[in-house]
Structure 1
Amino acid sequence: MSNRAFGPFDAMLHHLVMRRWRKIAAAADDLGLDRLRRVRLRALELRQVTDRLLYVSNGRLALPLIGSNAFSKPLHSDWSWRPELWRGPIFPPGQAAVESKTGFGDEVKIFHDCRISELTVRQLRNTHEDDLAPYGLRMDVFQFDGSFLSLVVDLPESAMRALGRKHLIRMNAVVETEKPLEIFARLNIQHGPNTEQMVRELPLSDRELSVDFDLAYTKLNEKRVERAWVDLIFEGPEMNQVMLRDVNFSRRPRAEV
């Protein structure tokens, strides 16, 4: 957009528009119903535009910077990645009564077997001074009549390049819960018709945590690796709020002995 749009003429036009809307707002109690309906429709159209502008500007102007892929990585890491959900804004940013297999961005999905969903999920902007991820994900779980709840993160194709049994894959997370909760991380790697699985319990004694998956303990066929994903499994999530301030991954070769 040209800088002329923010010059003296724009300031004068903005002043006139604001003065007009102040007069309309002051006279709203006395307007006829037909005219009030027309005015309300115009106000709603204006609010849609301003709400979108505020959503984008608040996100871009806050810290940490949108798109940041900065986080602590182990020495000699040859791959690292923060999913889109924690890196930049998604739209819509949230949903109530979330159904199973609902996607949030292109890489994250929610799975559950509830008959009636009382699960609310929303992406929020991180603003704590120690936050590294631009965004976080909040899940509010009320009544829960299912047997499982999981958040599935699909790892990108870059994670599979030259992946072998010599590698360790690390997941870092920053987790806050309203009350104690067991959370497990399960790494799945599909190679040909087979899928290797490794499960780790997240040590929630600390807000910032890490778990490692050592591929030496798998039967991975390195020549047939097709895809990989991580399930975050929440045990007994009823009447709880879970805030995932950050989730990121890295890969490093095992030290030679």
Structure 2
Amino acid sequence: MARTGGFIERILQWGQSRYWARNARKAAQTDLPLLRRQRRRARGLRMHLDTLISVAESRLALPIIGSNSFPKPHGTDWSWRPAVWREPIPVKGRAAVENKETLGDEVTLFHDCRISELTLRQLRNTSEKDLAPFGLRMDVFRFDGSFLSLVVDMPPEAVDGLRRNHVIRMDTIVEMEKPLEIFARLNIRHGPNTEQIVRELPLQAEDIRVEFDLAYSNLNEKRVEKMWIDLIFEGPEMNQVILRDLTFSRRPRAEF
């Protein structure tokens, strides 16, 4: 039944298109009273078409929800964009965020404020340069704590086959109201120990990227259990930080 309706609709559209094409060809010779009526109808039709085109171009320009597409280094054997940046989550935001409160299944906020004046919110990316469908906005008002970090738990696939010859890369797009320092700390639990590598984000660079070379770690490859990243914000008071994208990739280090 749906197929028949679609066929009839295409026939009607084809007939309408021929009708207006014929009127356009004859417009120079059409009697003025008839031409005036055609102009009135054409203007009404154009209003609807312009609205459809405008809305379609706006929606189709947005990054596709669920997209895991982003540039990856040659030789990448694992890559990932967390769900908060990839798809809509049930709870879009939280106000007065408490310590260890989560947003989605993978993101947790840690702080030691006595009174929380922190908010977290998922937002839709709309810029043409955005590859991620969503971003994450954090607003910090008065801040009476000593630390603030956003923890992103990585899936089990991130540590499947992880070796000391791997390089973990993190790419992000950051917008801020005023400058601050952000550090990324990679954590890898192996047995009773946790390996930690810290890098400062080059926020003045065009591409905000850090790499963690596991060759300089004491990783026990046979006992790797879990991996996560801490994004540590220094001096966050009275600031708004938007992470437009956050992606991770893993590749074996080139041997020389």
How far did residue 95 of structure 1 move? 1.0
Distance 1:222 1:154 in 2: 19
Whether the aligned pair in 1 keeps the contact of 2:165 and 2:253 (CA below 8 Å) is: yes
Distance 2:61 2:155 in 1: 27
**Cα separation, partners in 2 of 1:112 and 1:150, compared to 1, 3 Å:** same
Structure 2 match to 1:89: 88
How far did residue 91 of structure 1 move? 1.7
Residue 186 (structure 2) pairs with residue 187 (structure 1): yes
Q: Deviations over 1:116-169 (max 9, x none)?
A: 000011100001000000000001100000001100000110011110100000
Which has more radius of gyration? 2
Whether the aligned pair in 2 keeps the contact of 1:174 and 1:207 (CA below 8 Å) is: no
Structure 2 match to 1:100: 99
Distance 2:61 2:121 in 1: 18
Structure 2 match to 1:152: 151
Whether the aligned pair in 1 keeps the contact of 2:124 and 2:135 (CA below 8 Å) is: yes
How far did residue 62 of structure 1 move? 6.3
How far did residue 206 of structure 1 move? 3.0
Q: Deviations over 1:152-197 (max 9, x none)?
A: 0001100111101000000000001100010000000000000000
Counting aligned pairs with the same residue, the percent is: 71
Whether the aligned pair in 1 keeps the contact of 2:61 and 2:128 (CA below 8 Å) is: no
1:122 is paired with a residue whose SS is strand
**Cα separation, partners in 2 of 1:177 and 1:207, compared to 1, 3 Å:** farther
Distance 1:99 1:185 in 2: 21
TM-score by length of 2: 0.76
Structure 2 match to 1:201: 200
Q: Deviations over 1:216-245 (max 9, x none)?
A: 000100000000100000001000000000
Structure 2 match to 1:132: 131
Amino acid corresponding to residue 81 of structure 2 in structure 1: R
Distance 2:127 2:207 in 1: 14
Distance 1:102 1:208 in 2: 30
Residue 114 (structure 2) pairs with residue 142 (structure 1): no
Structure 2 match to 1:222: 221
Amino acid corresponding to residue 112 of structure 1 in structure 2: H
Distance 2:155 2:60 in 1: 28
Whether the aligned pair in 2 keeps the contact of 1:186 and 1:232 (CA below 8 Å) is: yes
Distance 2:244 2:131 in 1: 9
Distance 1:187 1:195 in 2: 10
List alignment gaps of at least 5 residues for structure 1: 7-59
Distance 2:206 2:143 in 1: 25
Structure 1 match to 2:165: 166
Q: Deviations over 1:95-125 (max 9, x none)?
A: 1101111111111111100000000111000
Distance 1:62 1:138 in 2: 21
* Farther off after superposition, 203-212 or 113-122: 203-212
**Cα separation, partners in 2 of 1:83 and 1:66, compared to 1, 3 Å:** same
Question: What is the correspondence of 1:1-16 to structure 2 with a 5 Å cutoff?
Answer: none
List alignment gaps of at least 5 residues for structure 2: 6-58
Question: What is the correspondence of 1:245-256 to structure 2 with a 5 Å cutoff?
Answer: 245-256=244-255
Whether the aligned pair in 2 keeps the contact of 1:175 and 1:208 (CA below 8 Å) is: no
